[in-house]
Amino acid sequence: MNIFDLPIKNRTVILALGAESAGNFSVFKKNKIYSSKDFGDLLDNKNFNIFKKEVLSFLEKEKIKPNLIITDLHPLMRTTLWGEILAKKLKARHIRVQHHHAHIFASIGDKIIHDTSYKTPSKIHRTCPAIARQFYGVAMDGTGFGIDEKIWGGEVFKLKMKNEKLKITERIGGLENQMMIGGELAIKEPARMLISILAKILSKKEVYGFVKKYYSKNEFNLIYTQLNQNFNCLETSSTGRILDAVSLLLGFCENKRTYKHEASILLEKNSTKPYLDIKPIVLKNSGDKTSLANYTLKIDSKFKTCLPVGKVQNSKFVLRNTPLFEYLIKNITKDKARLAATAQLYIARGLLEIIKLDSKNEPQLFIAGGIGKNKIISQYLVTNGAYQNKKIPLGDEGLSFGQIFYYLYL
């Protein structure tokens, strides 16, 4: 159990249950956060039972009775459902925090606990000048339930300091949405993501040529029809799903997943020097089907999470990734290791471009989420001034820590 001292006074006793793909819980009491190890994928019944047992054992051993329980926004996540039950049992309040908001606040929290300029444990900006009045957060991962009920995973947020509190003011942009054919089945079979992307730019026959190794003609026809009818398909801006599709297209992974992040890990592992003859295409939101819905946010009192309000504004940005696949197909006979690096750098450059288009000054930037572990992407952003976690895990293993920081500082 890791213990972190916080420069803040708050009498609330908090239990945060994190997400699901990497089980982790944290407890806040008397200006300290106690953060557990990673219990692995909680969709595994054995892992989930151990996780629950360790949570209850820690609370009993330390004589801690939380009056607030925080879970992920996803209503069907195991930790969310158990959190609801536990909150009723302990007569505690239960709130849900959006996945990527928690990731960003985990990164901010990491910065705060490593800042040595604190003098008193009360105000953030006054005692921690390393946190700017306005800054940005980039969250990159595989799956996170968005407040628009779509699957997020490549998001850029603007945050502001107001009255010594942090406020997420906007989701200013992110990756172009693509379709997960079959929902979560597209995580296990990357070819489903590739089909949905290539169907935008190639004929049905041409698309099949890239995936016939994995599906019979009949199987492909069913998947293609499913896409066209939008049956059991989920929209996603996930960075992880794009990297999966690139990895499969270039032949670095198979159409199956034997361990977490397998396709994207193999993509990075097989990368060398990128080509620089493609520039990221960032578009202003124009209301077409490639654009992200743009909105300002308000805090919902029931869940203490951000919800969209107002009309769509024509002032935000989307990083198109379909042109990346056009480029890869056009150059498919070139060095695939270089193409792999090019694709990852394209995403990093594009996300930074969104921030530059939105900001008049050199902005402070935090990167978060499991894809932050990708060295090609993270090194480019860090070289351009981004802060990357020093202690708290970038992935879901650090999410519960971020959930607590979200509550304490928002």
Q: Is 138 helix (H, G, I), strand (E, B) or coil?
A: strand
Cα(123)–Cα(137) distance, rounded to whole angstroms?
21
> What is the band of 119 on the pLDDT scale with cuts at 50, 70, 90?
very low
Share of the chain above pLDDT 90, in %: 70
| Under 8 Å between Cβ of 142 and 187 | yes
138's CB contacts (< 8 A; 6+ apart) are 155, 156, 157, 351, 355, 365, 366, 367, 368, 381, 386
> What is the band of 59 on the pLDDT scale with cuts at 50, 70, 90?
very high
Structure tokens given for 256 = 């199956």
pLDDT tens figures, 286-337:
654 433 343 344 445 444 444 443 333 334 899 999 999 999 999 999 999 9
pTM, rounded to two decimals:
0.88
pLDDT of residue 131: 63
Least confident of 114-118, 174-178, 265-269, 271-275: 114-118
pLDDT of residue 286: 60
Structure tokens given for 210 = 């890239």
Residue 110 scores a pLDDT above 80: yes
Share of the chain above pLDDT 70, in %: 86
Dihedral of CA atoms 169, 175, 177, 180 in degrees, nearest 10, equals: -110
Least confident of 102-106, 147-151, 267-271, 287-291: 287-291
| Under 8 Å between Cβ of 247 and 266 | yes
Q: Judging by DSSP bridges, how do beta strands 151-162 and 281-284 pair with one another? A: unpaired
> Regarding predicted confidence, which is higher, 153 or 409?
153
Residue 7 scores a pLDDT above 90: no
Mean pLDDT of 182-206: 96
Burial classification of residue 245, based on how many CB atoms lie within 10 Å of its CB (0-12 exposed, 13-18 middle, 19 or more buried) = buried
Mean pLDDT of 78-107: 94
pLDDT tens figures, 359-384:
877 778 999 999 999 999 999 999 99
Q: How many CB atoms lie within 10 A of CB 22?
A: 21
Instruction: Kindly report the average pLDDT of the chain as a whole number.
Output: 87
pLDDT of residue 171: 87
Domain residue ranges of the chain, discontinuous segments joined by +? 2-123+390-409
Q: Is 123 helix (H, G, I), strand (E, B) or coil?
A: coil
| Under 8 Å between Cβ of 167 and 133 | no
> What is the band of 92 on the pLDDT scale with cuts at 50, 70, 90?
very high
Residue 263 sits at the vertex; the CA angle it makes with 258 and 268, to the nearest 5 degrees, is 135
Considering the segment(s) 2-123+390-409 as one domain, its CATH architecture is: 2-Layer Sandwich (3.30)
Residue 410 scores a pLDDT above 80: no
Mean pLDDT of 176-196: 95
Cα(147)–Cα(355) distance, rounded to whole angstroms?
21
pLDDT of residue 164: 62
Give 45-72 as a 3 state SS string.
HHHHHHHHHHHHHHHHHCCCCCCEEEEE
> Regarding predicted confidence, which is higher, 132 or 310?
132
DSSP 8-class letter at 76: T
pLDDT tens figures, 255-283:
999 988 899 999 999 999 999 999 999 99
Place of tokens 């304490």: 408
Structure tokens given for 394 = 């970038």
Place of tokens 């997400």: 19
